[in-house]
Chains A and B, each alone.
Chain A
Amino acid sequence: MAIRANPKLIDELVPYGAEDVVKCYQCGNCSAVCPFSKQPYVFPRKPMRLLQMGLEEKIKSSIDPWLCYYCGQCSEQCPREAEPGETMMSLRRWLTSRYDWTGISRLFYKSWRFEVGAVILVALATVAGFLAFGFSQGSIHHYDGPHAFLPSPSIHIFDWTLAIVLLALLLSNAARMWWFTMGRDKEVKAPLSAYFTKAYLLPVHFFTQKRYSQCEHKAPWLTHLALMLSYVTMLVLIMFFLRDMAAGPAIDWHVHIFGYLATIGLIGSSILFLRSRITKSSAQYKHSHESDWIFLVLLLTVAATGILQHILHRSGLDMAANIMYVTHLALVVPMLGLEVPFSKWSHLAYRPLAMYFADVRAVALARQGQPESMPEPVGGGLRTA
C-alpha cells in the first residue's frame, strides 16, 4: 500500500498544541527516559518522527499517544526543547478529533471561541428548558417533595436520556478508534481470544491507572486518580441514587458520605490541577491548551454549584437552592454533553481502551514471533572476519 505523506501535518498540529516538533533532532533521549516506552510501543521519539514526515495515517492508527500519562520527564530532559510530552498530549487531542465522526471535536480544538460559545449556548438552552419545565410543574419555593421545582424523578429521566445519547456518541467514536488502531491493521491481526483474555485489563486500567504510578513523581498520579474516582462515584450517585440525594430533610449517610467524599475529591483535585497549570509548576503543566482550562473550570464550577445547592437546600433556603440547581445543571449539561464526546473528557474512555488494545496487540505480535523486548544492541558487531 502506498503511504501518503501530508507535508502540512506538522502545521495542522499547531492549534492542537504541538508547536516545537520541528526542533526535534531524533536523539531518542525521550524514548529512553520514558518509563512506559517498551517494545513494541516506543515513543515519544517515533511519533515525533512520523509527524516530521507527515505520515498522517500511521499516526492515526497508532496507540502510542494514549499510553503516555504525561509525567513530563521527556520534556524536562529534551536537549532540543522540542517538548515531546506536549507533542504526545497534542496528538491525543488530534486523535480525539479524528475518532469523533461529527467533526465537532475538530472545531473545539481548533478554536476555543467555538468551544466556549458552544458551552454558553448549551448552558443557556439548559437554563431555558429547565425554567420552562420547572414553572409548568412546580413551585420555585419547593426543592423537594410533591411540589418540587425540579422533581428528582424527572431529572432522573433526563439524566438517563443524556447518558444514553452520550454513550452512543462515545461508543461510536470508540468503535472508530478500534477500527483505526486495530481493525484495519492487515499486518497484525489480533485473535478474538486475546480480546477476552485481556478484557480484565480494561477495568484495571480504568480504576487504578496503575501505569501512571510507574512515573517517577507520584503526586500527579494520585491527584489524577482522585479526580477520576470522585467523578465516577458522583456519576454512580446521580445515575442511581439521585432521589436519596435530593430527599430531605434528614441526611442519609449511606449515600451522602460518598457524595461528600466525591465533592472533596473533585474540588480539591481540580483546584490542584488549576494551580499547577497557573504556576506552571512542572513540565507537564507548562503548556495549557484552551481546552484544558475550559474543562477544569467547568469541572470545578460543576462541583462547587453542586455542593452549594445541597448546602442551601439543607439550610432551608429552597428558592436559592433551586436557582443554584438550575445553575448547576446549566454547567453539568455542557460539561457532559460537550466534553465527554468531543473534548478532553473523552480520554477517560480512550486511554483505558488504548491500553487494553495495546496489550491485545502485543499478544498478536508475540504470536507472530516478534519478541517483546530485546535489551541488547544488535547490528554493528564484527563485520569482517
Chain B
Amino acid sequence: MRIGVFLCQAGTVPIDTVDLSAVAHYAANLPQVESVRDLGVLPTLDPSALADEISQDRLERIVIAGDSPGFFKPAFTRAMALAGREPNEVRLASFRQHGANTRNSTERAKAIVACAVYGVPFSLAAVPAQTKVHPATLVIGGGIAGIQAALEIADAGKKVYLVERTGTIGGHMAMFDKTFPTLDCAACILTPKMVAVGQHEMIDLMTYSEVESISGTPGAYKATILRNARRVDETSCVACNMCAEVCPVTVPSRFDAGIATRKAIYIPFPQAVPNAYLIDEAACTYVQSNGTKCGACAKKCPKGCIDLDARGDVIQVEVGSVVVATGYDVLDARKIEPYGYGVYPNVLTALEFERLTNASGPTGGKIVTKTKRFNKRTKSDEWVFDPDGPPPSSVAIIHCVGSRDANYNPYCSRVCCMYSLKFAHLVREKLPEARCYEFYIDMRAYGKGYEEFFQRIQDEGTFIVRGRSASVTQRDGQMYLKGEDILHDRVLEFPVDMVLLAVGLVPAEGAEGLAAMLGIPRDEYGWFAEADYNSDPTGTERGAVYVAGASQGPKDIPDTVAQASAAASGILKGIVSGRGVDSLGSLSLEDIEERAKTLVAG
C-alpha cells in the first residue's frame, strides 16, 4: 500500500508543542509511506489538485496529521474519490485528541502518526503498561470537595490522608447559613459528612497541617507533611471550653469572617472536626513570650491535655494519587474603594453576611446593623454586631464585585448571583418590613432550579434592579447608594442601612506554591488547570494528580461535590486497574510502534 502523510494545522496559531519537521522526517521513514507534505497553517485545499497529487504518487491511503485533522477530512475524502481511490482510506492522526498537546510531545505525535499509517486506532495500540499504583491517596484541602473525595475513596476501602491547613475540616461551606437554590441548611448537609470523615477508619485526618513537598512518580508519590502543633491533644480534648474562659487574649475569629472574636485558645466552631481546641501561636501570650508569661489554660484544663510547649512534627506518607481541593478565597473588597468597604461599618462582604445571618453566628442569626461601642483596651470606638442592635430597614446587594471587571477579575465568579438572591430571601424572611435591593448586570441563574429560584425571590418582593451600582457614600451617618436603574432609565441615589458586596472568588492563598510543588499548571487567573476542559475536567497534566472543587475554577456546591466524586472515581480506577495513572505516558514510541505492527499482523 502506498501512503501519503499530510501535515495540516487548523486554527490560526501554528502548532508549537510538537516538532513538526521531526515528525515529518519520522513519517517519511515509515514503511509504505510514499510522500510526506507539510501543508502549513490553515491551508486552502483544492480537492482536484489533491486528486492530481494522489494520482501522480499513486497513493492508496492518506494520513492527515495535526491538532484537528478532521477539519480537513472532507477535502481529502473528495480528492480520493476524484482520483478513483477508496475514500475510506483517509486516516486521521490527531495530536490533541491523543494527548500530544503539551510541551515536548513530539514522541507522542510520532506514535500517533505511526498508528494512523498502520491503520490501527491509537487507543488500541497505546494501552499503557501496568503501573503499580499505591493504594493510598493524599487529599489536600478539607472543604466540601476534599471531604467528598476522601469519603468516596475511603468508602471504597482505600486509605486516604486528608490534609487541612486550618484547625477543622469543613472549609467555606461550614460558614454558610443556607445553600441555594434549595435553601437547605448548609450545616445539616455538611456536618454529617465531617463527622463521617473524622470517624472513618480509612481516613487519616491531619488538620492544622500542610504539605511541604511531594516527590516520586505517578502511582508512587512521597509526600512530606508538616503537622503544626495544635498544643492541645485532640484525642483527649472534650471541648469543655474551660480553657477559653480563662484565656486573656481576644482576636478576630477567622471562621466568623472577622465579625466576631475568639480567644487565643479556641475551637473554630462548635461542630468542628476534630472536636478539639487548638492554640493560635501568633496570638498566644505564652508562646509569644517563650513560656515566661500566662499559661492559664494549661493550668485550668481538667483533662490535662494542653501542652503549651508542644512542637510541630514532620511526617512522610506514601501515596499513589493526589487530589488537590484547596478551594478559594474571596476578593479583598478593600481594593474597590468606591464601595467603601472598611470605611463604612455596614458595608459587608458576602462571607460576613453569611456569618451574621447564621444561627451559630455572633447575633444568633439576627440581621442587625453594627452599633458603636467603646473598646476599653484600645481606648477607641469600634463598630460591632450586637444581637440587640437595630435591624436595617433597607439592604442593598451589589453583584459582580470584582468579577467581570477588567480592573480586577475578568472572569465570572459564577456563584455570586445565586448567593445574592439567597441573601435577599434571608433578609426578606427575617425582616419582612425591610426593603431589599439587588443590583445586577446579568442574572446568571444557570443551574437546575436556579431560574425558578430567581423568580421566587422576585415574587417575594425584592427590588431587582438592572445596573451595576457605582458607589456607596455616607452623609450625616446615613449611607447612600448610587447606581443606574437601566430598565427604568434613571440614576438612583437612595438611602440604605446595609450594603452587601457579592465579592468574587480568587484562587486560595498558596495555590501558586502548591502548583509548583506538584508540577501542574495553573490558568491565567491562577486556578489549577485541568487536563482537558471537556473530556477530563478533573485530571491534570501530572499523572494521578486530580483537581476538585473551586481550586480548578469558581463553582457552586453541587458542581464541587460532583467533581470531587469524579476525581475519586478516577483515582479508584487507577488503584483498582493498576493502569492509566500516567495518562498513557508509560509506553514508549518503540513500544507503541511494536504493538501497532503486531495488531496489523494479528
What sequence of 0s and 1s flags, for each residue 534-555 of chain B, a beta carbon within 8 Å of any chain A beta carbon?
A: 0000000000000000000000
Task: Tell me the chain B residues, 468-526 only, with Cβ under 8 Å from chain A.
Answer: 468-471, 482-494
For A384, what are the chain B residues with a Cβ–Cβ distance below 8 Å?
459
Q: Does A192 contact B (CB under 8 A)?
A: no
CB distance from B156 to the nearest CB of A (A): 46
Assess whether A380 is in contact with B465, with CB atoms less than 8 Å apart: yes
Q: Known contacts being A32-B471, A79-B468, is A26 close to B486, with CB within 8 Å?
A: yes
What sequence of 0s and 1s flags, for each residue 432-461 of chain B, a beta carbon within 8 Å of any chain A beta carbon?
A: 000001000110000000000000001101
Q: Does B467 contact A (CB under 8 A)?
A: yes
Contact of A32 among B461, B467, B494 (CB under 8 A): B467
Q: Does A28 contact B (CB under 8 A)?
A: yes
Assess whether A79 is in contact with B491, with CB atoms less than 8 Å apart: no
Assess whether A379 is in contact with B467, with CB atoms less than 8 Å apart: no
For B489, what are the chain A residues with a Cβ–Cβ distance below 8 Å?
42, 46
Find the B residue at minimum CB distance from A383: B459
Q: Does B1 contact A (CB under 8 A)?
A: no
Cα distance A55–B491 when bound, in Å? Answer: 22
Contact of B468 among A32, A46, A382 (CB under 8 A): A32
For A78, what are the chain B residues with a Cβ–Cβ distance below 8 Å?
406
Q: Known contacts being A33-B470, A77-B407, A78-B406, is A380 close to B492, with CB within 8 Å?
A: no
Find the A residue at minimum CB distance from B462: A380
Assess whether A27 is in contact with B467, with CB atoms less than 8 Å apart: yes
Cα distance A32–B492 when bound, in Å? Answer: 8
Cα distance A377–B486 when bound, in Å? Answer: 11
For B404, what are the chain A residues with a Cβ–Cβ distance below 8 Å?
25, 79
Assess whether B463 is in contact with A28, with CB atoms less than 8 Å apart: no
Assess whether B482 is in contact with A32, with CB atoms less than 8 Å apart: yes
Assess whether A79 is in contact with B486, with CB atoms less than 8 Å apart: no
Q: Does A381 contact B (CB under 8 A)?
A: yes
Q: Known contacts being A39-B491, A77-B338, is A380 close to B458, with CB within 8 Å?
A: yes
CB distance from A35 to the nearest CB of B (A): 10
Q: Known contacts being A42-B490, A376-B492, is A382 close to B461, with CB within 8 Å?
A: yes
Assess whether A29 is in contact with B468, with CB atoms less than 8 Å apart: yes
Assess whether B470 is in contact with A77, with CB atoms less than 8 Å apart: yes
Q: Does A3 contact B (CB under 8 A)?
A: no
Contact of A383 among B338, B458, B468 (CB under 8 A): B458
For A37, what are the chain B residues with a Cβ–Cβ distance below 8 Å?
484, 491
For B491, what are the chain A residues with a Cβ–Cβ distance below 8 Å?
31-32, 37-39, 42, 373
What sequence of 0s and 1s flags, for each residue 18-54 of chain A, a beta carbon within 8 Å of any chain B beta carbon?
A: 0000000111110111000111001001100000000
What sequence of 0s and 1s flags, for each residue 68-101 of chain A, a beta carbon within 8 Å of any chain B beta carbon?
A: 0000000001111100000000000000000000
Task: Tell me the chain B residues, 2-18 only, with Cβ under 8 Å from chain A.
Answer: none
Q: Does A378 contact B (CB under 8 A)?
A: yes
Cα distance A127–B469 when bound, in Å? Answer: 57
Q: Does A375 contact B (CB under 8 A)?
A: yes
For B406, what are the chain A residues with a Cβ–Cβ distance below 8 Å?
78-81
Q: Does B155 contact A (CB under 8 A)?
A: no
Q: Does B464 contact A (CB under 8 A)?
A: yes
Cα distance A51–B471 when bound, in Å? Answer: 26
Contact of A379 among B459, B483, B488 (CB under 8 A): B488
Q: Does B405 contact A (CB under 8 A)?
A: yes
Find the B residue at minimum CB distance from A81: B406
CB distance from B499 to the nearest CB of A (A): 14
Cα distance A381–B406 when bound, in Å? Answer: 33
Cα distance A376–B435 when bound, in Å? Answer: 11
Contact of B484 among A31, A374, A379, A383 (CB under 8 A): A31
CB distance from A105 to the nearest CB of B (A): 31
CB distance from A21 to the nearest CB of B (A): 15
Cα distance A26–B485 when bound, in Å? Answer: 11
CB distance from A27 to the nearest CB of B (A): 4
For B466, what are the chain A residues with a Cβ–Cβ distance below 8 Å?
28
For A31, what are the chain B residues with a Cβ–Cβ distance below 8 Å?
467, 484, 491
For B407, what are the chain A residues with a Cβ–Cβ distance below 8 Å?
77, 79
Q: Known contacts being A29-B470, A42-B489, A383-B461, is A377 close to B482, with CB within 8 Å?
A: no
CB distance from A188 to the nearest CB of B (A): 15
Cα distance A211–B453 when bound, in Å? Answer: 45
Cα distance A79–B492 when bound, in Å? Answer: 20
Q: Known contacts being A29-B468, A42-B490, A46-B489, is A377 close to B463, with CB within 8 Å?
A: yes
Assess whether A28 is in contact with B442, with CB atoms less than 8 Å apart: no
What sequence of 0s and 1s flags, for each residue 231-265 of chain A, a beta carbon within 8 Å of any chain B beta carbon?
A: 00000000000000000000000000000000000
Cα distance A28–B482 when bound, in Å? Answer: 11
For A28, what are the chain B residues with a Cβ–Cβ distance below 8 Å?
466-468, 470, 483-486
Shortest 6 CB-CB contacts between residues of A and residues of B: A28-B484, A32-B470, A380-B463, A79-B405, A27-B468, A28-B467
Can you list 30 pairs linking A and B with CB atoms under 8 Å apart?
A25-B441, A26-B441, A26-B486, A27-B441, A28-B483, A32-B468, A32-B471, A32-B482, A33-B470, A33-B482, A37-B491, A38-B491, A39-B490, A42-B484, A42-B490, A42-B491, A77-B338, A79-B400, A81-B406, A373-B490, A374-B492, A375-B493, A376-B492, A377-B485, A379-B463, A379-B485, A379-B487, A380-B462, A383-B461, A384-B459
Q: With contacts A32-B482, A79-B407, A380-B465 known, what are 14 further pairs, Cβ within 8 A?
A: A25-B441, A26-B486, A27-B468, A28-B467, A28-B468, A42-B484, A42-B489, A78-B406, A79-B400, A376-B492, A377-B485, A378-B488, A380-B458, A381-B463
The residues of A with any CB-CB pair to B shorter than 8 Å are 25-29, 31-33, 37-39, 42, 45-46, 77-81, 373-384
